[in-house]
Structure 1
């Protein structure tokens, strides 16, 4: 998947009116996820992503410890949306990431996160309409 396809997919799934909003949502989610993951895992997850997208994971201050509610709060602030929308943004962006990375890579990510992050992966593998 290339950059335009990735951003277009995020824009479609989140029903956003512009590509800029889709990029902001993607940056908010991947930067925050990158902060929560260990640096090597963030780099592994970034590897298969388009280079214009992978930088959000590479540039994050990795290795921080915070719960899922804090992830949603950070995404909310960065994407400039309400917490309920931020949770859905996070789920949708992670689902698009899942389309780009090997299944084993997402397994490695989930293994690094505590149980309260299960909600983040609710859309993964769901082929339904958003």
Structure 2
């Protein structure tokens, strides 16, 4: 999957009006996820993704392995995406789940499980992977 296919898929699934919005949603989600997981895991997760997308997980992050919960994750994604109104929270969560599901289509089976293992099961992080589980989207 190349960058245009990736962002086009995100744009289509989120029914966004343009590529810019799809890129913003992708950058916001993956940069924030990159902040939460360990550097090595971010690099592994980024490997199969298009170069322009993998940079969001690895190159744009000041510090990997930060500790924050699901709500803080959504706050950071919302800020980066420019969706800070209280009514935007459900959209932000849906955008994040969709971006992760599209990424899962390019990531080998088991790689996303390693990321999931780094996130606390009891803090709402399972929400991030709902569409992956529903679609069975992971690559083999």
Q: Could you say which TM-score interval applies, normalised by the shorter chain?
A: over 0.9
Structure 2, unaligned stretches of length 5 or more? 136-140
Question: How much has 1:5 moved relative to structure 2?
Answer: 0.5
Q: Are positions 1:126 and 2:134 aligned together?
A: yes
2:113 corresponds in structure 1 to 107
Matches within 5 A, 1:70-85: 70-81=72-83, 82-85=88-91
Task: Quote the Cα distance in structure 1 between the aligned partners of 2:134 and 2:102.
Answer: 11
| Number of residue pairs aligned between Structure 1 and Structure 2 | 128
Matches within 5 A, 1:10-89: 10-59=10-59, 60=61, 61-81=63-83, 82-89=88-95
Task: Quote the Cα distance in structure 2 between the aligned partners of 1:121 and 1:69.
Answer: 15
Deviations 1:94-127 (A, max 9, x none): 0001001011100100011111200110100434
Structure 1, unaligned stretches of length 5 or more? none
Q: TM-score, normalised by structure 2?
A: 0.88
2:98 corresponds in structure 1 to 92
Q: TM-score, normalised by structure 1?
A: 0.95
* Structure 1 outlier segments of 4+, above 6 Å: none
Deviations 1:5-52 (A, max 9, x none): 000000011110000110011000000000000000000000000001
Does structure 2 retain, via aligned residues, the 8 Å contact 1:76–1:85?
no
* CA RMSD, Structure 1 to Structure 2 (Å): 1.2
